Chains A and B, each alone.
Chain A
Amino acid sequence: MTSVVTGDAGFARPWRLSRRAARTLKGVTGIVLMLVAWQVSVPIIGMSSYFYPAPLDVWAAFVDLVRKGVLPIYIADSLGRYGAGVGIGAALGIVFGIAIGLSRRTSLAFSPLFKFLFALVEVAWIPIFVVWFGYGVKTIVLALIYVVFFPVMYNTLLSVRTAPAVLVNAVRSLGGGRIAVMRYVILPSALPGMITGLRLAAGFAFRGLVFGEFIAAKTGVGYLIFEGAQSQQTSRSIVGMIIMGLMWLAIDQFYLRPFERATVQRWGLIVDAADRR
């Protein structure tokens, strides 16, 4: 998105970098500048690498972790837990959201309960899950399923409730049965809500994953961050944090944003222009 503050000419100037390339280059320069400043500040601050590791220490730790096969396994484990939690939670959320949203009575009945359960902050469920299911992967994945289920289900429900009655009647009057109504009206209407809920849930779930791995895991990126600090290898902790950031950027750029663009672009107009009940 171009900044409108200073206003650029609309045409491309062949003797300069395209605007997008220039921005990317500037962004990279920013990161490089920060790394240089960090590295330079280490002797100035003059603390041990336990307190204040340098970028070079972090790089060395990264190489070490890859060489020893630790990092690939940790990343794979974390991704697996995240995928399972988000996948199952989203699937359940969509199914329940549509099922409950179809009937006015059930929506009215369950909405307050879900609002209440959603308000129960997800990190607050980890202690009780630990008591019930112990430490381990099962607890983490269950917590993730919970975290993902409610936003997805609630947003899907809302979307289904606002499916335009006009279209339902139109499909019915053209001879469409329940399946046709589902296919042509309900599901497309539910889609924006699904994606909004999914985007929200994915963010909460990612933080929940890292937190859960602090407490209840023996492998994983979150565990790396925790254990690095515990075993006084602070550089490893920072490697974990950077990997975590990169993972989230990848998830957001490659999956969440394209999904959102696809639905908003395809259905945005329809949802806005249609009647609402």
Chain B
Amino acid sequence: MKASRREAIVLGALPFVAIVVAWAVLPHVINYPAYMLPPISAVLRFAWESIQDGSLVRNIAASLARLAAGFAIGMGLAIPLGLAIAMNRHIADLFRPLLSFLQAIAGIAWVPLTIIWFGIGNGSVIFVIANTIFFAALYNTVLGVETIPLALHRAVRSHGGHGIKLVTQLLLPGALMQILLGMRTSVAYGWRALVASEMIAGSSGLGYMTMEAVQWQRVEVIILGMIVIGVLWVIMDRALFATLERRTIGRWGLMQR
């Protein structure tokens, strides 16, 4: 077992090593303008500088803050609205096609509109993120309520639960699984919407930093931006997914469908 584990790690590292070597060697093999692919040292140097003067941390903080705000607004509006819609089967049927259509255009497509409404800056970016997460969560909430087993529904009703009690005792817990399951992909889209809208309509943040560097043709900034954006996403995904998995399988594991 140990030998094969070591083999996996060594093999897995090989392509990365190959890329680093190729990157270092490329300028000597092919002739291309220096700005197109700066040496790794330039990327590292910029990383060091931007950490030193705090600009990298500021940008990361700005982006994450917007993601959090958009997430809170999106989920906060979507879950109550979704539960309200799903409580009545006819209303749910009424809105489902509309909701799936709106989910198809959620997020990035709204950026030009938000520039008209909010101008460049936080308002636009947060709106786009909230929009993305709102429609995804709304759809998942309605779907979640719909897949509650009929037996449970009847059981709660026969015990006199209706109205607000129905919501808290049955609809919300029942839909929670679907909501949490859908949360991972909706935050994935939300993160992409954040980066995209910062590139066009932002005045700070990781997306803004990466896109602005195109004007100055500072590719080392772009590369660092890409890596930070990717790493942050992996961290969030692991943190989110790991905790979700623990809570859902741990708590609701017995409720396997």
Q: Shortest Cβ distance from B83 into chain A, in angstroms?
A: 13
CA distance A128 to B224 in the complex (A): 11
Are B11 and A105 in touch, CB under 8 angstroms?
Answer: yes
Are A5 and B150 in touch, CB under 8 angstroms?
Answer: yes
Q: Find residues 215-231 in chain A having any chain B CB closer than 8 Å to their own CB.
A: 215, 222, 225-226, 228-230
Q: Shortest Cβ distance from B105 into chain A, in angstroms?
A: 4
Are A31 and B226 in touch, CB under 8 angstroms?
Answer: no
Q: Which of B40-48, B50-58, B65-73, B96-104 contacts A (4 or more CB under 8 A)?
A: B96-104
Query: B2 at the A/B interface (Cβ < 8 Å)?
Result: no
Chain B residues closer than 8 Å to A128, beta-carbon distance: 219, 222-223, 226
Chain B residues closer than 8 Å to A23, beta-carbon distance: 93
Query: B233 at the A/B interface (Cβ < 8 Å)?
Result: yes
Chain B residues closer than 8 Å to A121, beta-carbon distance: 191-192, 195, 226, 229-230, 233
CA distance A30 to B96 in the complex (A): 8
Q: Find residues 98-139 in chain A having any chain B CB closer than 8 Å to their own CB.
A: 105, 108-113, 116, 119-128, 130-132
Are A112 and B98 in touch, CB under 8 angstroms?
Answer: no
Chain A residues closer than 8 Å to B36, beta-carbon distance: 131-132
CA distance A225 to B107 in the complex (A): 13
Are B227 and A244 in touch, CB under 8 angstroms?
Answer: no
CA distance A7 to B148 in the complex (A): 12
Query: A33 at the A/B interface (Cβ < 8 Å)?
Result: yes
Query: B78 at the A/B interface (Cβ < 8 Å)?
Result: no
Chain B residue nearest to A7 (CB atoms) is B150
Encode contact with A along B211-226: 1 for CB under 8 Å, 0 otherwise.
1011001010011011
Partner of A4, one of B149, B210, B230: B149
Query: A248 at the A/B interface (Cβ < 8 Å)?
Result: yes
Are B112 and A225 in touch, CB under 8 angstroms?
Answer: yes
Chain B residues closer than 8 Å to A214, beta-carbon distance: 108, 111-112, 200
Chain A residues closer than 8 Å to B145, beta-carbon distance: 5
Chain A residue nearest to B149 (CB atoms) is A4
Query: A59 at the A/B interface (Cβ < 8 Å)?
Result: no
Q: Shortest Cβ distance from A245 into chain B, in angstroms?
A: 4
CA distance A210 to B90 in the complex (A): 34
Are A30 and B95 in touch, CB under 8 angstroms?
Answer: yes
Are A229 and B98 in touch, CB under 8 angstroms?
Answer: no
Chain A residue nearest to B99 (CB atoms) is A30
CA distance A5 to B11 in the complex (A): 52
Chain B residues closer than 8 Å to A5, beta-carbon distance: 89, 145-146, 148, 150, 153
Are A244 and B222 in touch, CB under 8 angstroms?
Answer: no
Are A26 and B90 in touch, CB under 8 angstroms?
Answer: yes
Chain B contributes a number of interface residues (CB within 8 A of A) equal to 66
Are B109 and A127 in touch, CB under 8 angstroms?
Answer: no
Are A27 and B104 in touch, CB under 8 angstroms?
Answer: no
Partner of B234, one of A4, A119, A234: A119
Are A124 and B230 in touch, CB under 8 angstroms?
Answer: yes
Query: B196 at the A/B interface (Cβ < 8 Å)?
Result: yes
Partner of A29, one of B15, B89, B94: B94
Chain B residues closer than 8 Å to A127, beta-carbon distance: 199, 210-211, 213-214, 222, 225-226
Query: A249 at the A/B interface (Cβ < 8 Å)?
Result: yes
CA distance A242 to B109 in the complex (A): 10
Query: B155 at the A/B interface (Cβ < 8 Å)?
Result: no
Q: Shortest Cβ distance from B177 into chain A, in angstroms?
A: 15
Query: A51 at the A/B interface (Cβ < 8 Å)?
Result: yes
Q: Shortest Cβ distance from A86 into chain B, in angstroms?
A: 16
Chain B residues closer than 8 Å to A6, beta-carbon distance: 89
Chain A residue nearest to B13 (CB atoms) is A112
- Given the interface pairs A5-B153, A113-B15, A124-B225, the reply to whether A26 lies near B93 with Cβ below 8 Å is yes
CA distance A132 to B226 in the complex (A): 15
Partner of B217, one of A22, A131, A226, A241: A131
Q: Shortest Cβ distance from A247 into chain B, in angstroms?
A: 9
CA distance A126 to B23 in the complex (A): 20
CA distance A240 to B117 in the complex (A): 17
A-B contact pairs, 20 of them (CB 8 A): A1-B146, A4-B146, A5-B89, A6-B89, A30-B93, A112-B15, A112-B16, A120-B230, A121-B195, A121-B230, A124-B207, A124-B226, A127-B199, A210-B108, A214-B200, A229-B112, A240-B109, A244-B109, A249-B101, A249-B104
> Shortest 10 CB-CB distances between A and B: which pairs?
A229-B112, A27-B97, A112-B12, A30-B94, A120-B230, A113-B15, A109-B11, A248-B104, A26-B93, A245-B105
Q: 7 new A-B pairs (CB below 8 Å) besides A50-B116, A245-B104?
A: A7-B150, A116-B16, A124-B210, A130-B214, A229-B112, A240-B109, A245-B101
Binding site for B on A (CB under 8 A): 1, 3-7, 22-23, 26-31, 33-34, 50-51, 105, 108-113, 116, 119-128, 130-132, 204, 207, 210-211, 214-215, 222, 225-226, 228-230, 234, 237-238, 240-242, 244-246, 248-249, 252
